[in-house]
Amino acid sequence: MRYLLRRLGTLVPVAIGVATLTFAMIHLVPGDPVVAMLGETAAPADVAGLRHQLGLDRPIGEQYVDFLAGLMRGNLGESISYHRPVAGLIAERFPATLELTIAGLVVGVLVAFPLGIVSGANPGGPADLGAMGFAILGISIPHIYLGPLLMIVFSLDLRWFPLTGRGGLAHLVLPAVTLGTALAAVIARMLRQSLVVVRESDYMRTARSKGRGAMAALLIHGLRNAMTSVVTLVGLQAGALLTGALITEMIFSWPGIGRLLIGAIGARDYPLVEGCVLTFAFTYVVVNMATDLLYGIVDPRVRLE
């Protein structure tokens, strides 16, 4: 419990830091957003007008304090292109991104376990070579090629799944596979490594000599032992998974935060860009904390620290 509270306490400075860096990027990096919005040829009076309307003519310190105060109340300002509060837009799209990310994670884990077990149980065998070959392919193929490839084969050619958009489970399959393949490959490689090490260990010899079948012993002891590493790895891959979701959303026209962000960048809608960036970063920070806490559950030794 104390561990939980202490871990929660570290969230606050990181969150303030993330908000500050995002604010600084948008407000201090060279380049005038208002000129960018209106175009180089805009009349100076129009530029000044819009700047005043957006509150950009006030001192930077005042804007920053307002921004942080708004953030505390869940107010992310008004979107310029949608003429609606940014927080509302994000709340509408967030479930779609969450759904895609979780689906990617599920695909990653579901594919990784059989592959990792098949290779780790018999290293050097044909199944091992096949599974690890697939893993190398999975790590190397970029989302931006895998996604369109899956679209051609499974939706345009075989017509098994819809091409784009969000809907039922059928809509989710191709985006989830696009997103989850790299994760599956990384976890499968790690599982294999972990099982190979466990096979050689003393306690496995004990388990086998007790009369357990080699495979059962490997699965029971080996997998239990590998769980900490899987949790660590998923935590490490969470960032790649989140921005992978962003790119996957663009490929499959998936109506989530990623597509909202890229659209906002195109429309020079800086309040919306700011809101989307913050949402991704805060989600990531929370996910990281959750994996840390999950550690404590999977591996009791962590709690003692």
Confirm or reject binding of residue 196 to other proteins (CB under 8 A).
Answer: no
Confirm or reject binding of residue 285 to other proteins (CB under 8 A).
Answer: yes
CB of 254 or CB of 280, closer to other proteins: 280
Confirm or reject binding of residue 236 to other proteins (CB under 8 A).
Answer: no
Q: Do residues 265 and 257 touch, judged by C-beta distance below 8 A?
A: no
Which span sits near other proteins by CB under 8 A: 16-24, 58-66, 106-114, 164-172? 16-24
CB of 177 or CB of 217, closer to other proteins: 177
Residue 31, φ and ψ in degrees, nearest 5: 115, 130
Q: Do residues 281 and 127 touch, judged by C-beta distance below 8 A?
A: no
Q: How far is the CB of 152 from other proteins (least distance, A)?
A: 5
Q: Which parts of 25-54 interact with other proteins (CB under 8 A)? A: 25-26, 29-31, 36
Confirm or reject binding of residue 102 to other proteins (CB under 8 A).
Answer: no
Which of 268, 295, 283 has the alpha carbon at shortest distance from 79?
A: 268
Which span sits near other proteins by CB under 8 A: 64-72, 77-85, 134-142, 296-304? 134-142
Confirm or reject binding of residue 152 to other proteins (CB under 8 A).
Answer: yes
Confirm or reject binding of residue 265 to other proteins (CB under 8 A).
Answer: yes
Confirm or reject binding of residue 9 to other proteins (CB under 8 A).
Answer: no
> Could you tell me which residues come within 8 angstroms of residue 137 by beta carbon, excluding any fewer than 6 positions away?
185
Confirm or reject binding of residue 8 to other proteins (CB under 8 A).
Answer: no
Which span sits near other proteins by CB under 8 A: 65-73, 112-120, 122-130, 131-139? 131-139
Q: Which tokens hold the place of 101?
A: 């990310």
Confirm or reject binding of residue 243 to other proteins (CB under 8 A).
Answer: yes
Size of the site for other proteins (CB under 8 A): 49
Q: Which parts of 245-264 interact with other proteins (CB under 8 A)? A: 246-247, 250-251, 261-262
Q: How far is the CB of 239 from other proteins (least distance, A)?
A: 3
Which span sits near other proteins by CB under 8 A: 12-20, 108-116, 196-204, 211-219? 12-20
The residues of the shown chain that bind other proteins, judged by CB under 8 A, are 13-14, 17-18, 20-22, 25-26, 29-31, 36, 136-137, 139-145, 148-149, 151-152, 156, 238-244, 246-247, 250-251, 261-262, 265-266, 273, 277, 280-281, 283-285
